[in-house]
Structure 1
Amino acid sequence: MNLLLLLFASLLRKILFFALMFFSFSFVAAQKKVDLISPNNKLKLTVNVNNDISWSVSLNNAKVIEDCTILMEMGEGRSLGKDAKIKSKKTKSYNKTITVQIPNKDKVVNSNYNELMLDFKQQFKVVFRAYDDGVAYRFVDLNKSSKQVNSEGMSLTFPVGSKTYFPKEDSMYSHNERVYLYDKVEELNAGEFCSLPVMFQTNAAKVLFTEASLHNYPGMFLEKSKSASSFTSKFPKYVLEAIPNIEFEPDRNQIISKKASYIAKVDGEREYPWRVFIISDDDRSFVESNLVTELSGDSKLEGEDWIKPGKVAWDWYNANNVYGVDFEAGINTETYKYYIDFASRNNIEYVILDEGWTKSTTEILDDNDVIDVPYLIEYAKSKNVGVILWVLWKPLYESPDKILKTYSSWGAKGIKVDFMQRSDQFMVESYEKIAEIAAKYKLIVDYHGAFKPAGIERVWPNILNYEGVKGTENNKWSKDITPEHNVTIPFIRMVAGPMDYTPGSMRNVNKQDFTKKEDAYGIFFSRPMSYGTRAHQVAMYVIYEAPLQMLCESPTIYYKEQETVDFISKIPTIWDETVVLFASVADYIVLARRKGDSWYVGAMTDWSSREFKVPLDFLEKGNYKAKIFKDGINAIRNAEDYKVEEKVVTQASTLLLKLSSGGGYSAILTKE
């Protein structure tokens, strides 16, 4: 009997042992594959942890990202992702409300998402989020001894047959101002790379890739790999030495003479940037998305009432080309008084003194002999106009506190910082340091020669705009700025944040001369023209997001086009609400934005003429006065032809929009 009991006990122990082994194996196996679903149940992100960490995404059960393998290699020989072992996982749903300090799209953002946090035994985490309009992930290093990042790997594979709107770069030393090359992914050559944002088009949906919460870390580029449908991450190395480029404008251009083997220095544990994928089968979603805002940090400023968005009378595009005056035009006191007077008469908040006002481009604490900047700032103040001062990044960053304190003592309201051209860690950190010092002296900031917005502007909301876009200034030396380009950038570059495209050209031309059927465009550096109609340019003030928005044309020309200026001056530069009505990437866009009780409708098209019927059911009850700026009946013959009309509308009304080739449409709807 005792023997039987012993045998039974032994058998029971073996059964229990194998059962525990089975359940342990099942638990570990379950850990290796985890699904994360978006709140609306349309997006599914599947994470796999085996020898590496990878994930894929489906929209409505159709793959839009086949595979994305991620990895960070640290300087201490640590690998975050290779042979990773999950210690724990946590999923949670969030529904937050974000109030945006300087709202270039929506003042209040409802942030609803599901989050998966994977905690690994190797002292790091990977956080995944699924939103209704996209997914994102970031690494979090928990090791207090980390000193550097050697590389951050991301291998991204799309379904076969995918296409891309590819902002191809020639170098990572770049202004990030590119046209978007539309091509099949497999047609790109291995080694070709682009800046961000970049858009991909699969059979099921489009994917916009960019980054957010970029702080003290290099910006990412994306490089075509040898595999037909795959890309890999690419980063500038940490810069050890940069010297002036003696052969080409050494005051602003550099040669990176020494680089480290790593991409970033770090000091222990930290969070890394979010990798952001906006995904939709509806092109309207990309313009409406607030995902970069949602994934960026909170403001570090205690009081922000001094930050004043607005419009700017800008000099450089028109080469200070004023005429019909009794003084010699140029970079001098009288010319800028003319700009200030124009701004004051038209309720334009700012004037920029662009390149040329300083003693030299590297001696930026003093003005030159023909211009009295402190006097001009006082004169502008008496006219209720603020002055923004242009500076090169390099001399500014040599002594930023002293320089910005001086500008503030003169009464300047902001700075326009130009020619950064780099995305390495040192440069990214400098954006924040300059913004922080500028905030101390209550100065707004406009970054030119810059990378795209990636969350720094949320933390330092005195950064009102970035360039990083191929904009109007290119009219001075190229024919690249076409209506097709103009209706591409809202879906790609503008998704990252505000863009200083600098609209407002009054010298408008069609694709071809109406009679000779020849190219109507001529390149003139000091008197540039723009492709597309006058109404196309005006619509940019509604469609393009820019809390600091330029008027690029000469005040002399604007005085001759006062009706156009009167319309533009009534359009805000920040918004409470945005609704996209019709949209197709690189073809057309129609949207409505609200500021207070008023609504603003904007529409732009490529070289194809189009018609849209726009129901005004987004309005509140009651009558609205509609002031409309649209293509004239003869805009196809003369791109400067337009018509302004007024009517009364209600939420039951429908606007009929007739857009000429390269045309546009704007309406200001004011509640009566």
Structure 2
Amino acid sequence: MGLTFVLDGEGRPVYSVSYAGRPVVLPSRLGFVLSADSSFFTGFVLRGQERRVVDTVWRPVWGEVAAIRDHYEELTVHLERMGRWLDIVFRVFADGVGFRYVFPKQAGLRYFVVGDELTEFRMAGDHKTFWIPGDYDTNEYPYTTSSLSSVDNAALVAASTAIAVRVAPDRYAVQTPLMMKSADGLYLNIHEAALVGYPAMQLHVDHASLTLRASLVPDCVGNKAYLHAPFATPWRTIIVSDKAADILASKMILNLNEPSKLASTDWIHPMKFCGVWWEMQTGKGTWSYSDYPDSVDARGQLIPSGRHSANTANVKRYIDFAAANHLGGVLVEGWNVGWEDWFGNWKENVFDFVTPYPDFDVREVTAYAASKGVAMIMHNETSGSATNYERQMDTAFRFMKGWGYGAVKTGYVGRIIPRGEHHDGQWMAEHYVRVASIAAAYHIMLDAHEPVRPTGLQRTYPNWLACEAARGNEYNAFSDGNAPEHETILPFTRLMGGPMDYTPGIFRLRGYSTVAGRQVHTTLAKQLALYVTLYSPLQMAADLPENYAAHMDAFQFIRDVPVDWDDTKILEAEPGDYVTIARKEKGAANWFLGAITDENARTVDVPLAFLEPGRKYKATIYKDGVGADWKTNPEAYAIETMTVDSKGRLRVQLAPGGGAAVSIRPL
């Protein structure tokens, strides 16, 4: 990687990036518009610089690999403009460049407001781009593949009526992580790392100059950030390679985050889990106890609808299933009062996070789960009312600890309260970090849904196991679904920032909905492969127990596949087309492989050189069956076994929209 930094003739900071002598980012400007200085982007003087080289290794609490090398050359430039100071810190890695702004402590700039960040990424060509709209409140759009100069999100935003809240005022804005491929075969990814105390960065696309300009999510009065020096912004990241697999293997974003802030981490346990969630998504049951908030009897008590999924008997059924199939936990959504009037009302005080519905006996469920060795996972839906959750967070976490809940799934469906704030603005970015920090104080693991997309903060808060922050498997339940290529794009986009709770493992791929033609847009074998290709230390067996019962031979892979790893090999990858990944189980010699494709059938043919030389292994291959097709025959699969070693290759045919999952165990 090559980095050049200069001050131009007007005293504007300008940088450029190259890879193996090839231009990646052409000379691009940096700077700010501040409330205290509207021209804090020009007239700078270079007052000093420092360089250093860092080469260390650290071990994550959990992750895709057991150890991570952090090797970079750092350049810090000290800039001064009319008595006000700005530092820019660049770190150059083998696979990319990260840079951030630092406002040092200074007399001339103490408390100030950011009106705009003027960071630019001027691309060297009209690249093939994988993008979703730059929306202030959601990341749950399907991906569009187009040239950079063709980006226009207006039609997609207007058509995406299945998304609860959409605010995308700039039709030429896109979200990060943004994945691109140049005509001459360079792969580029632009994102950010360590988003703390600052709004999320989106990118405005200037079609004429092929320049991406930072577009920060504003607050309710149009300001971008309220800062107090000293302050360091998140890192802006550019990952580059001539091999797509190298993009997925990069640990640069993690390396740009701070080390763990937790005093102890022995209470953090990645796990697989199940729960009543898919019942509600497919209409078999409901989150709410009653049909309407005013459906009450003469005593003022809610009248039960008879369709409430989070009832004691039903939850015990899932606990039995988890215990029988080596699933560590059970998630129960809809257990607490308030669901009758939560959606779309912009109401502040909906949930109290401690009061169960009459048919959910917390004591009985807790005791039963404990007797089966199953952990219960709490659910805290906020309905977007972050103010209400902030007031009750300690109460909610004390309730969890009192009843033995060691993990929580949070949700933020709806418009944000404080009213006028956005999911991806500064206020909410700070809120999500506060939740992770306070949860850690109670030794509670966190899975956040509808948050700002992740930026590697799982290194700093390793109890923050997963996020949603993208279009998950659930969209196959209540909308037109996810295109077969969707899961081949996600590793290059959303997952660059951190693990995703995608909720894989759907086995009944048609006939689960009353809507004609609705189906999951994968094969059954691909649903198994997603446990490997879409990384998360928190993986759900998302389907109903009765749907697994018909395919227990295939379900064996879900029973076996780990969620924590010692090593990961990206065997082949192309965004939008295919991904094949092998991972080594944490603390064991077992390997697991996942391969997925888009709507096109293809043959996987990969070497097994990652296996230990001289050792024989039993490979159990879960693959698409004869005639399998995501659209016409999605549930056809076959299972075969063979003996393999490091000198061999694995060759498997993938159906359209299909996949393969392989467990490889030493003999």
User: Quick one: distance in 1 between partners of 2:410 and 2:36?
Assistant: 37
Residue 463 of structure 1: CA displacement? Answer: 0.8
Q: Deviations over 1:319-346 (max 9, x none)?
A: 28789xxx97732110100011101100
Any residues of structure 2 matched to 1:384-423 within 5 Å, and which? 384-393=373-382, 394=385, 395-419=388-412, 422-423=423-424
Select the residue among 72, 79, 85 that pairs with 2:32.
72
User: What residue identity is the alignment partner of 2:26?
Assistant: E
User: Quick one: distance in 2 between partners of 1:525 and 1:306?
Assistant: 43
Q: Does 1:614 align with 2:606?
A: yes
User: Quick one: distance in 1 between partners of 2:307 and 2:634?
Assistant: 31
Any residues of structure 2 matched to 1:483-632 within 5 Å, and which? 483-508=484-509, 524=514, 529-595=519-585, 596-621=588-613, 622-632=615-625
Residue 76 of structure 1: CA displacement? Answer: 2.4
User: What residue identity is the alignment partner of 1:503?
Assistant: P
Identify if the C-alpha distance between structure 1 residues 527 and 610 changes in structure 2 by more than 3 Å, giving closer, same or farther. Answer: closer
User: What residue identity is the alignment partner of 1:585?
Assistant: P
CA contact (8 A) 1:476 1:526 kept: no
Identify if the C-alpha distance between structure 1 residues 523 and 338 changes in structure 2 by more than 3 Å, giving closer, same or farther. Answer: closer
> After alignment, is 84-93 or 534-543 more displaced?
84-93
User: What residue identity is the alignment partner of 1:370?
Assistant: D
CA contact (8 A) 1:185 1:228 kept: no
Identify if the C-alpha distance between structure 1 residues 215 and 329 changes in structure 2 by more than 3 Å, giving closer, same or farther. Answer: closer
CA contact (8 A) 2:131 2:145 kept: yes
User: Quick one: distance in 1 between partners of 2:603 and 2:207?
Assistant: 44
Q: Deviations over 1:304-333 (max 9, x none)?
A: 11111111103222328789xxx9773211
Q: Deviations over 1:540-598 (max 9, x none)?
A: 01111111111111111112221222211111112111111111110011111112311
Q: Does 1:177 align with 2:148?
A: no
Residue 99 of structure 1: CA displacement? Answer: 1.0
Q: Does 1:114 align with 2:77?
A: no
Residue 424 of structure 1: CA displacement? Answer: 1.2
Q: Deviations over 1:52-96 (max 9, x none)?
A: 111112222221222321112333227554211111122222211
**1:147 aligns to what?**
111
Determine helix, strand or coil for the equivalent of 1:266: strand
**1:457 aligns to what?**
458
**2:636 aligns to what?**
641
**1:8 aligns to what?**
none
Q: Does 1:56 align with 2:45?
A: no
**1:136 aligns to what?**
98
Determine helix, strand or coil for the equivalent of 1:457: coil
**2:159 aligns to what?**
none
Residue 435 of structure 1: CA displacement? Answer: 1.4
CA contact (8 A) 1:508 1:529 kept: yes
Select the residue among 338, 345, 351 that pairs with 2:330.
351
> Structure 2-normalised TM-score?
0.85
Select the residue among 643, 662, 666 that pairs with 1:667.
662
User: What residue identity is the alignment partner of 1:649?
Assistant: V
User: What residue identity is the alignment partner of 2:198?
Assistant: Y
Residue 281 of structure 1: CA displacement? Answer: 1.6
Bigger radius of gyration among the two: 1
User: What residue identity is the alignment partner of 2:412?
Assistant: F
> After alignment, is 261-270 or 606-615 more displaced?
261-270
**2:200 aligns to what?**
219
Q: Deviations over 1:606-634 (max 9, x none)?
A: 11111122221111131112121111123
Q: Deviations over 1:21-57 (max 9, x none)?
A: xxxxxxxxxxxxxxxxxxxxxx212212122111112
**Aligned pairs, how many?**
593
Identify if the C-alpha distance between structure 1 residues 265 and 161 changes in structure 2 by more than 3 Å, giving closer, same or farther. Answer: closer
Residue 408 of structure 1: CA displacement? Answer: 1.3
CA contact (8 A) 1:191 1:224 kept: no
Determine helix, strand or coil for the equivalent of 1:620: coil
Q: Does 1:285 align with 2:246?
A: yes
Identify if the C-alpha distance between structure 1 residues 92 and 662 changes in structure 2 by more than 3 Å, giving closer, same or farther. Answer: same
CA contact (8 A) 1:98 1:294 kept: no
User: Quick one: distance in 2 between partners of 1:523 and 1:330?
Assistant: 17
Residue 368 of structure 1: CA displacement? Answer: 0.9
CA contact (8 A) 1:322 1:554 kept: no
User: Quick one: distance in 2 between partners of 1:377 and 1:522?
Assistant: 30
User: What residue identity is the alignment partner of 2:371?
Assistant: S
**2:288 aligns to what?**
none
Identify if the C-alpha distance between structure 1 residues 525 and 102 changes in structure 2 by more than 3 Å, giving closer, same or farther. Answer: farther
**2:437 aligns to what?**
436
Aligned Cα root-mean-square deviation (Å): 2.2
Select the residue among 189, 199, 207 that pairs with 2:179.
199
Q: Deviations over 1:109-151 (max 9, x none)?
A: 1122111111223422111111111111101111344213322
Select the residue among 369, 372, 386 that pairs with 2:361.
372
CA contact (8 A) 1:317 1:526 kept: no
User: What residue identity is the alignment partner of 1:177?
Assistant: E
CA contact (8 A) 1:614 1:657 kept: no
CA contact (8 A) 2:619 2:644 kept: yes
User: Quick one: distance in 2 between partners of 1:379 and 1:79?
Assistant: 64
User: Quick one: distance in 1 between partners of 2:444 and 2:515?
Assistant: 31
Q: Deviations over 1:641-671 (max 9, x none)?
A: 1112222211122211111111111111112
Identify if the C-alpha distance between structure 1 residues 638 and 539 changes in structure 2 by more than 3 Å, giving closer, same or farther. Answer: same
Q: Deviations over 1:212-241 (max 9, x none)?
A: 111111111111236341222111223xxx
CA contact (8 A) 1:53 1:69 kept: yes
Select the residue among 22, 36, 48 that pairs with 1:88.
48
User: Quick one: distance in 2 between partners of 1:345 and 1:505?
Assistant: 19
Residue 356 of structure 1: CA displacement? Answer: 4.5
Residue 261 of structure 1: CA displacement? Answer: 4.6
Q: Deviations over 1:429-483 (max 9, x none)?
A: 1112111221122111110012211133221111110001111100112223122
User: Quick one: distance in 1 between partners of 2:215 and 2:517?
Assistant: 39
User: Quick one: distance in 1 between partners of 2:146 and 2:563?
Assistant: 34
CA contact (8 A) 2:89 2:101 kept: yes
Q: Does 1:167 align with 2:132?
A: yes
Identify if the C-alpha distance between structure 1 residues 374 and 438 changes in structure 2 by more than 3 Å, giving closer, same or farther. Answer: farther
Select the residue among 299, 312, 320 that pairs with 1:333.
312
Select the residue among 254, 271, 283 that pairs with 1:310.
271
Determine helix, strand or coil for the equivalent of 1:437: helix
User: What residue identity is the alignment partner of 1:377?
Assistant: T
Q: Does 1:157 align with 2:122?
A: yes
User: Quick one: distance in 1 between partners of 2:180 and 2:360?
Assistant: 49
User: What residue identity is the alignment partner of 1:88?
Assistant: G
In the alignment, structure 1 segments of 5+ residues that lack a partner are: 1-42, 239-258, 510-520
User: Quick one: distance in 2 between partners of 1:666 and 1:53?
Assistant: 49
User: Quick one: distance in 1 between partners of 2:38 and 2:262?
Assistant: 36
Residue 191 of structure 1: CA displacement? Answer: 4.4
CA contact (8 A) 2:150 2:207 kept: no
- Stretches of 4+ moved more than 4 A in 1? 320-323, 521-528
Q: Does 1:44 align with 2:5?
A: no
